[in-house]
Amino acid sequence: MHQLNPNDVQLITVSLDPNTDTKESLAKFKQDYGGDWPHVLKNGKEIADTYGVKQLEEIVLVNSENEVFYRSVRPSFDDLKEALTQIGVEL
């Protein structure tokens, strides 16, 4: 196991609704909740299709080889922690 560092995990939010998810709504989200990670507003459907995302609120974890190793709809923190632990990331 190794300690988590910023290079171990990259969070990216992908929009599937470009009519609702605008630059303005994203700016408000960042203001209200933080969210200083990348947000993809264009090509969201293409990215979702690539990784087999079928639902909003689905979390997909992809390893450094772009292989999906975990997916769940609205997983708990403990579920995400367990998935990351299985690939050697310690939180």
Give residue limits of the domains in the chain: 2-84
- Give the pLDDT confidence score for residue 75 in this predicted structure: 93
| CATH topology (fold) of 2-84 | Glutaredoxin (3.40.30)
- Residues 26-53 pLDDT 10s: 888 888 988 788 888 888 888 889 988 8
The answer for residues whose C-beta is within 8 angstroms of residue 72's C-beta and 6 or more apart is 58, 59, 79
Main-chain phi, psi angles of 40, to 5 degrees: -100, 115
Q: What is the pLDDT of residues 64-80, one digit of tens each?
A: 788 888 999 999 999 99
Q: How far apart are CA 66 and CA 83, in angstroms?
A: 16
Parallel, antiparallel or unpaired: strands 39-40 and 13-14: parallel
**pTM attached to this predicted model:** 0.70
